Amino acid sequence: MNTEIVGQCWNCGADLSQSDYGREADCLACVKPTHVCRNCRHYATGRPNDCLEPLAERVLDKARANFCEYFEPSLTPAAAGASPGPEDLAKAALDLFK
């Protein structure tokens, strides 16, 4: 059994090994699915489909397990609340003119 740490859970940050990334596998610490966009190295908010892989099929819920063939674990997963809120965006826009 491979116990080498290859990534972290997108939700709680727990260390995950290669065997923890199965299609129906969940994080042992927080019981969230691990084979999700937020745990993938191709995940990039703002890109089409929030993915760097142009051939990947569209996935609507980035925190739900999926069948993406391009999935590769990320060493730095996107946190559950990583997307900026409307207040953050408005502040950033106002800061441009200071």
Q: Which residue has the higher pLDDT, 83 or 31?
A: 31
Give the tens place of pLDDT for each residue, 9-23: 999 999 999 889 988
Residue 28: phi and psi, rounded to 5, are -70, -25
The reported pTM is: 0.73
Q: What are 88's two structure tokens?
A: 């953050």
Query: What pLDDT score does 93 carry?
Result: 76
Write out the H or E segment, with its range, that includes residue 93.
helix 86-95
Please state, for a pLDDT cut of 90, what percent of the chain lies above it.
Answer: 54
Q: Write the single-letter amino acid at 47.
A: R
Query: What pLDDT score does 80 carry?
Result: 52
Q: Using 50, 70 and 90 to split pLDDT, how confident is the model at 77?
A: confident
How far apart (Å, rounded) are the C-alpha atoms in residues 48 and 13? 26
